[in-house]
Amino acid sequence: MYSPLEGDNWGECVIQQGHGAPSHNAPCGSTWDRVSTHFLDSIGVPIVRGRNFTEQDTAATPLVAIVNQAFVKRFYPNQDPIGQHFGIDKPQYSGSFEIVGVFKDFKINNPSRDVRPVFLRPLSQTYTGYKEPEMISTETQSMMMNAMIIGFNSPQQDVESLIRHTLAGIDPNLTVNDLRTFQAQVSGNFNQDRLVARLSSLFGVLALILASVGLYGVMSYFVARRRGEIGVRMALGATRSSVVGMVMRGAMWQILIGLLLGIPASLYAGYLMKVLLWGVDSYDPLAIAGAPLMLIICAAAAGFIPARRAASIEPMQALRTE
């Protein structure tokens, strides 16, 4: 029906064989899809228990299903799911499908949410036991293949033309609405997150530049105001390195205050934006250590330039000015 992360999916209430109708608030929902034999192979999801669909799963054989680990965790937490039966929506259909395999969890619909229970049924099998018209209609509509994932053994030239031509050869009335790589489809789910990340990075760089420029300005003003004092110190024996050290100590104090205020604030901000993060923890050690380190380096550079200028002050001229 729908390919993973296409942006749509079907869901039903699952009822295990021998169980009655679930209560109103019982978490019985599961995403489901109807797929071909090699679907999981094509998207790189392994079977972790039991078996995958095979060519032997036909309309004449018992109806089977494969489920994900989240499905097992919700509906068969302390049981071996292989060989268990379940159905959808009504207790009388609770023995419709036999679980023959368990596949590894993957995000089939919304990448920002936890993995939902998922069961897959083969395209080659149809349940004919429904009595209700809406359920019959749903079963019929589920046979309509909305998406196709095609994998090649080797790189192909002009894939789009090849696919359109091949499908037209099967049925000229087949209309290809959209053609894209699976990577592009998956990647498209993160466009907004990517934009937010890029904007955040941009703002982060701007903030770093502003902080550095601000610190440079403050330290330059500090040096200018204390020009006379620096001249006196140098006349009394201060070396150029001690003058640089004096100015840098002033800069480091400001950096330290900034870090004392900024690190807790960033940790709290990380906690607040936890849901927007992918593949990285909100308390990622590399980020928490790297950001202050980068700030220290940039701030130190911003402070060092006026410090060097201070050290190059001629005491004689500074004293004369004062």
Partner 1 sequence: MIELKNIERSYKAGHTETWVLRRVGLTIREGEFVTIMGPSGAGKSSLLNVLALLDDGWLGEYWFSNIPVHSYSRKQRADLARQRIGMVFQSYHLLDDLTVAENIDLPLSYKNLPSKERQGMVADILDRFQIVAKKDLFPSQLSGGQQQLVGIARAVVHAPDLLLADEPTGNLHSTQAREIMELFRQLNKAGTTIVQVTHSEENARYGRRIVELRDGWITRDEVLDADPAEVGSK
Min separation Cβ 223 and partner 1, Å: 15
322 binds partner 1 (CB under 8 A): yes
Q: What is the DSSP letter of 93?
A: G
Min separation Cβ 311 and partner 1, Å: 12
- 52-60, 173-181, 213-221, 229-237 -> range binding partner 1 (CB under 8 A): 229-237
CA 39 to chain centre: 23
48 binds partner 1 (CB under 8 A): no
- Quick note: the x/- pattern for partner 1 over 238-277, rule CB under 8 A, is xx--x-----------------------------------
Nearer to partner 1, 38 or 320 (CB): 320
Residues contacting partner 1: total by CB under 8 A: 15
235 binds partner 1 (CB under 8 A): yes
Nearer to partner 1, 200 or 239 (CB): 239
Beta carbons of 209 and 201 less than 8 angstroms apart: no
229 binds partner 1 (CB under 8 A): yes
169 binds partner 1 (CB under 8 A): no
- 118-126, 144-152, 194-202, 311-319 -> range binding partner 1 (CB under 8 A): 311-319
DSSP bridge pairs for 64: 98
Min separation Cβ 277 and partner 1, Å: 47
Nearer to partner 1, 160 or 322 (CB): 322
The Cα–Cα gap between 187 and 262 comes to 33
Nearer to partner 1, 156 or 321 (CB): 321
Min separation Cβ 317 and partner 1, Å: 10
* Residue spans of alpha helices (H) in 44-111: 69-75
Min separation Cβ 222 and partner 1, Å: 13
Identified binder of partner 1 from the candidate list 60, 170, 236, 286, rule CB under 8 A = 236
Beta carbons of 90 and 20 less than 8 angstroms apart: no
CA 171 to chain centre: 38
Q: What is the DSSP letter of 231?
A: H
Shortest CA distance to 15 belongs to which of 135, 137, 145, 141? 135
Identified binder of partner 1 from the candidate list 233, 247, 298, 311, rule CB under 8 A = 233
Which H/E stretch holds residue 320?
A: helix 315-321
Half-sphere exposure (CA, 13 Å, Cβ side) for 150?
A: 16
Min separation Cβ 226 and partner 1, Å: 9
Residue 85's identity, in one-letter code, is H
56 binds partner 1 (CB under 8 A): no
Min separation Cβ 256 and partner 1, Å: 21
CA 111 to chain centre: 6
Shortest CA distance to 244 belongs to which of 223, 275, 214, 225? 223
47-50/118-122 β-pairing:
unpaired
Nearer to partner 1, 13 or 232 (CB): 232
Beta carbons of 308 and 245 less than 8 angstroms apart: no
Beta carbons of 267 and 283 less than 8 angstroms apart: yes
Q: Which residues bind partner 1 (CB under 8 A)?
A: 228-229, 232-239, 242, 315-316, 319, 322
